[in-house]
Amino acid sequence: MKSEIIDSWEKNAKEWSKIIQNHGIASRKFTNKAILSAIMNTNASKVADFGCGEGWLTREMNKMGMVAYGFDAIQALLEDAKQHGPGEYHQLTFEDVIAGKPIPHSTFDLGVFNFCIYLKDGLSQLIENTLDVINPKGFILIQTLHPFFLIQNEMEYKGQWISDSWKGLPGNFIEGHSWYARTLEDWVSVLASIKEVDFTIKEITNDEGQPISLIIQIQKL
């Protein structure tokens, strides 16, 4: 059965690619720079870009001299990625990773999840199974929306489902999927449950000093 998330992304893949190519999301000025800086600090040579979408981050990492592979559930986004530059891309869902299916080109120095984690259940298993294809002393990086957005939008500060993933973005998106928002405490609880890792959490802010994202770094011991 196709998930609500995949169904929504299949319907909006073309619009998403257009928005990204036209630099339509202002906060990416800060978040793109932040994830690239975090990636550089890992000194990784071989990287898996999970939820790569239209491939901008995979391309950037290859330009930086890394060997980066892109993985995504949405075939239309993968086809768009292939049209915009060199790189190797594979169709893979997070459900595949959680189920323990083989990940092409394993193993890696780094796995990146950049604004692509929407699920509530299975997050620990997703991280643990990703760690299985990460080299010793390697890393996972996760960038996600800062929990402060709950307060900004006058919501109760607690883990909860948000109804429309496209709300607030420019573009003509349709049939937005729900996604699970975590508080900082929620994230720490998940990370603390994973064995034989160290983790750090960095807050990313905009020019006004408002928090806009978290970058979570998990190192395999």
Q: What is the pLDDT of residues 74-126, one digit of tens each?
A: 999 999 999 998 889 999 999 999 999 999 999 999 999 999 999 999 999 99
**CA–CA distance, 156 with 24 (Å, rounded to integer):** 29
DSSP-derived letter for residue 45 is S
Q: Give me the pLDDT at residue 168, please.
A: 86
Q: Are 213 and 32 in contact (CB under 8 A)?
A: no
Low-confidence residues in the chain, pLDDT < 50: 1
3-class DSSP assignment, residue 5: helix
- Strands 134-145 and 160-162, by their bridges, are unpaired
3-class DSSP assignment, residue 188: helix
For residue 38, what are its two tokens?
């975090």
Fold (topology level) of 4-220: Rossmann fold (3.40.50)
DSSP-derived letter for residue 102 is -
